[in-house]
């Protein structure tokens, strides 16, 4: 692979590690390519943000392929993860501390399975206040960290599959296939409310974007090794 190949356009499939932001992954891959080819500039962008506490498939578009980012972002996505009942957090995941606890002892596996049916198809969802969405030119998480109240309009998203893969209360493991713009954190929060309880997202992994699977992705270290051994 030559520097011209990267400039003309490449897709890089990375298995994003826990704790990294998507932006940090982009910066790291850009730096590796620049170092390898001793160049000052190369365009790199990602096709769909993953939160720091999520892992899994991140599609990076390099060179002229950055013009195709919207195409990949628009594709359906598949996730696996864990919803934990009995507690809520302001961020709807483990980024913030638990702010309320609930008794989940009366909730059964049947209750859980029946509740999933209410989330299949088109649903209205409110994005979490701890998100990078902008309102009046400011990121929502900036309002949240400043303790400011802000009205977040609901949006329509589509859930084409919502499967419960294991239940060991308070933890519920799932697989979801959904449209662009779906917040799994919000879904976890709403899932708890629908059960007249509280819930938050405790684990998330993106397994597919369109026809692309995380099984065919590389770790950051794996990409670095590949870059060193296949570049010319």
Half-sphere exposure of 13 (CA within 13 A, CB side): 16
The secondary structure element, H or E, covering residue 34 is helix 22-37
Active site residues: 51
Q: Which residues pair with 135 in a beta bridge?
A: 138
Helix axes 220-230, 22-37, angle to 10 degrees: 20
Helix (H, G, I), strand (E, B) or coil at 84: strand
How far apart are the two ends of the chain, measured CA to CA in Å?
6
Q: Which two tokens stand for residue 202?
A: 């405790």
- Cα 52 to the chain's mean position, in Å? 8
Distance between CA 217 and CA 140 in Å, rounded?
A: 31
CB-based contact 3:37 (threshold 8 Å): yes
């Amino acid at each position: 692979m030559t520097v011209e190949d990267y400039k003309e356009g490449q897709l890089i499939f990375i298995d994003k590690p826990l704790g990294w932001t998507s932006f940090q992954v982009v910066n790291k891959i850009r730096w590796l390519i620049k170092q390898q080819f001793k160049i000052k500039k190369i365009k790199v962008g990602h096709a769909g943000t993953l939160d720091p506490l999520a892992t899994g498939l991140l599609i990076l578009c390099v060179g002229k392929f950055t013009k195709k980012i919207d195409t990949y972002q628009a594709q359906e996505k598949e996730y696996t993860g864990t919803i934990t009942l009995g507690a809520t957090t302001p961020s709807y995941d483990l980024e913030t501390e638990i702010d309320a606890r609930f008794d989940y002892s009366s909730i059964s596996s049947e209750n859980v399975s029946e509740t999933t049916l209410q989330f299949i198809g088109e649903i209205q969802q409110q994005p979490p206040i701890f998100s990078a969405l902008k309102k009046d030119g400011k990121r929502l998480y900036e309002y949240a960290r400043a303790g400011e109240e802000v009205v977040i309009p609901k949006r329509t998203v589509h859930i084409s599959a919502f499967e419960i893969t294991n239940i060991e209360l308070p933890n519920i493991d799932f697989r979801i296939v959904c449209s662009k713009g779906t917040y799994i954190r919000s879904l976890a929060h709403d899932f708890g409310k629908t059960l007249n309880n509280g819930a938050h997202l405790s684990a998330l992994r993106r397994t597919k974007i369109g026809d692309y699977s995380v099984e065919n992705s590389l770790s950051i270290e794996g990409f670095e090794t590949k870059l060193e051994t296949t570049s010319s």
